[in-house]
Structure 1
Amino acid sequence: MNTKHLKARILDLALQGKLVENSKIPNDVKSRIPSDFNPPFEIPNSWQWVKLGEIVSVTDFVANGSFATLRENVKYYNEKNYAILVRLADFTKNWDNNYIYCDKHAYDFLKKSSLKPNDIVMCNVGSLGVTFKVPDLGQPMTLAPNSILIRPLNKNILNDFLFYLFNSLFFKNSLNTIKSSTTQPKFNKTDFKTIYIPLPPLDEQEKIVKKIDELFSQIDILETSKQSLLKNIKHTKTRILDLALQGKLVKNSRIPNDVKSRIPSDFNPPFKIPNSWQWVKLGDICEISSGGTPSRNEAEFWENGTIPWLKIADIKDDYVNSSSEFITQKGLENSSAKIFKKGTLLFTIFATLGEVAILNIDASTNQAIVGLTPKKDNYITKFIFFALKNIKNSVNLIGRGATQKNINQTILKNFYIPLPPLDEQEKIVKKIDELFEILEIIENSL
């Protein structure tokens, strides 16, 4: 469920008069459609299309001098004699007292753009149309540059209705028609006032705002529940892998109690495993080698390349089916890159540690990715894949490097994983796949 899209759809319906019942008036009374305007959709007969300049006042930053001359008066601490300078950076904050304050001297120049609680402020330079309502901070507040203050001209215009309208896709598209084509997009307040909007009677504005508030509140609850459920699904998958690698997911082989799992002398196992299992080093059961990067200075190593060449960013899912870059045969032959066959396990050892996937194509990789191939037929690739997913946290704990964590092949080869007999590997992989499929169906339905 895309809750952002759902909210946008609700605003669309609201502005078309389809969210609440609208006033009944004779059919021969038509909405007033200005001669210079081609409406993008129909509205109820009791509504009308109006220019913003007819119903709101628009104020931008006002000062006797540029903002730069006032910077020496800007303070970064809270003091009751200071006015809060509301900036774009505050639009998306949680209003956590992290404000910039202008002292009274600066504020005297800015009184014409002083703010009141519930005022609507909109960005008109850069992040066009970002809109918010000013909270009650209990102190004088003033408008910063690159934003405009919008207030209804009379009591027949509901502030909250305007706020929802300004956040609609319809209005965002309207802003695009007046923005300048400079490097940093912007619009001016004069052009802003020429935008036409659909305006219902006051009583319908009130009903619409109330209905949107109710629906948005329910969606917010759903979003919170969705995030909580997604978190639980992720935790459940981790728990399934934990149980699987401890021999607790499927019934395991019964052997006499005096037969113990082989525990290497150089290893302290993090948990117990069934007697029929053993702890093994990855290097003992898999061939492990890393990829390489052909020189970027040699065009013939890259241009018209046909050999898939993978980076960490290409490992997004459990299976890798394509690459974003390709190298040539010359690039392969003149670098440490190599071809990993379809079915090879991939494991990241640099920067983003512990990402794991199975190759669904023949491909080469860069040096941040190693390929693992089981040495014998009694090791199932998919089981080792799940074991590698489960050791991601352990790999990150030992990753070296202050800025970017990494491990080398030697470290990876000496990593121990629990290994069951072949028949149990098959049962475990089957069970994990079944459980993960159910969880993914739930996840995709949210």
Structure 2
Amino acid sequence: YLEDNLAGSTNQKELYIGVLSDLSFPLPPLAEQHRIVVEIERWFSLIDIIETGKDDLQTAIKQTKSKILDLAIHGKLVPQDPNDEPAIELLKRINPDFTPCDNGHSRKFSQSWCSVTVNDVCSIIGGVSYNKADIQDTGIRVLRGGNIQNGKVIDCFDDVFIPLSYQNNDNQVQHGDIIVVASTGSQTLIGKTGFADRDIPKTQIGAFLRIVRPKQKALSPYIRLIFQTDDYKGYIRNVAKGSNINNVKNAHLQNYQIYLPPLEEQQRIVQKIEELFSVLDNIQKALEV
């Protein structure tokens, strides 16, 4: 009724007092009005409780995922098998000169695990710089911070493309790459990561991103998990903070110390996390209905 009686132009409608004065509606007895108000307040209160409960449950799901990841990187999520090949054997195949770092923290882990830096097992690759005058509608897609969402690498409607002459096979996005946001004004977004679950043709990272590329593809699923942990996020936010812009230097990533389990245990950890996260994600989806 009100919409049909609004005056004014198509784009700007106005509500005159006369329209309200002439508005008619059914009026129940006073006692019934009180009952209606009480009932509505009761239902609204229940709805508020449900909404609060959903928020609390969503927070609990996020905290549970963080705890699962923490247990995983400390060797407490899946059983350990003494028959697994120790991680150091794999590391020596990557680098015959590899020497493990022995410290007090490493003694808290199984002897089959090995203390390493990211530089021991991954390459850190910088992004492409380009002239703004070269931006065009097709060519090589350049990933920026907005392309890293919810742990994934996505396309955006405002993606930048540059000529094929900028082609660089090193920073071409490959299956197993971990893409890191390396420069931003946000303490929350610095170090944010996305995982490339496939080769992405004609797609390179921009200068404000970094690629963490495992030196063996088999390591990628487990190292991906490390870059989702609160331990990693806290480390990066601490070393990269600046007065205006936060910057992740290559050395920050290279020097980050991790503990690597045997490859077979890595695979068991990844499988278990996928199972647990699937259950939590289904609960999350149900809450969004």
Shorter-chain TM range is 0.7 to 0.9
The answer to whether the aligner puts 1:427 opposite 2:254 as a matched pair is: no
Deviations along 1:160-180, one digit per CA (max 9) or x if unpaired, are xxxxxxxxxxx7xx4995577
Q: CA shift at 1:418, angstroms?
A: 1.2
1:308–1:322 contact (8 Å) kept in structure 2: no
1:380–1:426 contact (8 Å) kept in structure 2: no
2:144–2:205 contact (8 Å) kept in structure 1: yes
Q: Which residue of 2 aligns with 1:290?
A: 126
Q: CA shift at 1:357, angstroms?
A: 1.4
SS at match of 2:194: strand
1:346–1:356 contact (8 Å) kept in structure 2: yes
Task: Provide closer, same or farther for how the CA distance between residues 303 and 214 of structure 1 changes in structure 2, counting only shifts above 3 A.
Answer: same
Q: CA shift at 1:195, angstroms?
A: 8.2
Q: Structure 1 residue aligned with 2:81, among 253, 272, 291? A: 253
Task: Provide closer, same or farther for how the CA distance between residues 206 and 308 of structure 1 changes in structure 2, counting only shifts above 3 A.
Answer: farther
2:129–2:206 contact (8 Å) kept in structure 1: yes
TM-score by length of 1: 0.52
Q: Which residue of 2 aligns with 1:326?
A: 160
Aligned pairs for 1:52-63 within 5 A: none
1:179 and 1:418 map into 2 onto residues whose CA distance is 69
2:207 and 2:38 map into 1 onto residues whose CA distance is 57
SS at match of 1:253: coil
The answer to whether the aligner puts 1:219 opposite 2:47 as a matched pair is: yes
Q: Structure 2 residue aligned with 1:445, among 283, 286, 289? A: 286
The answer to whether the aligner puts 1:365 opposite 2:199 as a matched pair is: no
2:166 and 2:24 map into 1 onto residues whose CA distance is 60
Q: May I ask how many residue pairs the two structures share in their alignment?
A: 262
Deviations along 1:122-178, one digit per CA (max 9) or x if unpaired, are xxxxxxxxxxxxxxxxxxxxxxxxxxxxxxxxxxxxxxxxxxxxxxxxx7xx49955
The answer to whether the aligner puts 1:240 opposite 2:68 as a matched pair is: yes
1:337 and 1:198 map into 2 onto residues whose CA distance is 71
1:246–1:274 contact (8 Å) kept in structure 2: no
2:18 and 2:170 map into 1 onto residues whose CA distance is 57
Aligned-pair identity (%): 27
Counterpart AA for 1:384: I
Q: Structure 1 residue aligned with 2:248, among 384, 407, 418? A: 407
Aligned pairs for 1:195-214 within 5 A: 196=23, 198-203=25-30, 204-214=32-42
Q: Which residue of 2 aligns with 1:104?
A: none
Counterpart AA for 2:214: P
Q: Which residue of 1 aligns with 2:136?
A: 303
Q: Does 214-223 or 270-279 show the bigger shift?
A: 270-279
Deviations along 1:257-293, one digit per CA (max 9) or x if unpaired, are xxx9x8626x774993221101111112112112134
2:139–2:162 contact (8 Å) kept in structure 1: yes
Counterpart AA for 1:367: A
SS at match of 2:180: strand
Q: CA shift at 1:337, angstroms?
A: 9.4
Deviations along 1:408-442, one digit per CA (max 9) or x if unpaired, are 11111111111111111100000011111111111
Task: Provide closer, same or farther for how the CA distance between residues 208 and 419 of structure 1 changes in structure 2, counting only shifts above 3 A.
Answer: same
Counterpart AA for 1:282: V
Q: CA RMSD in A?
A: 3.2
Task: Provide closer, same or farther for how the CA distance between residues 431 and 188 of structure 1 changes in structure 2, counting only shifts above 3 A.
Answer: same
Q: CA shift at 1:364, angstroms?
A: 1.5
1:316 and 1:322 map into 2 onto residues whose CA distance is 10
TM-score by length of 2: 0.78
1:212 and 1:425 map into 2 onto residues whose CA distance is 54
| Residue ranges of structure 1 left out of the alignment (5+ in a row) | 1-38, 40-170
Greater share of residues in helix: 2
Task: Provide closer, same or farther for how the CA distance between residues 328 and 219 of structure 1 changes in structure 2, counting only shifts above 3 A.
Answer: same
Task: Provide closer, same or farther for how the CA distance between residues 229 and 330 of structure 1 changes in structure 2, counting only shifts above 3 A.
Answer: same
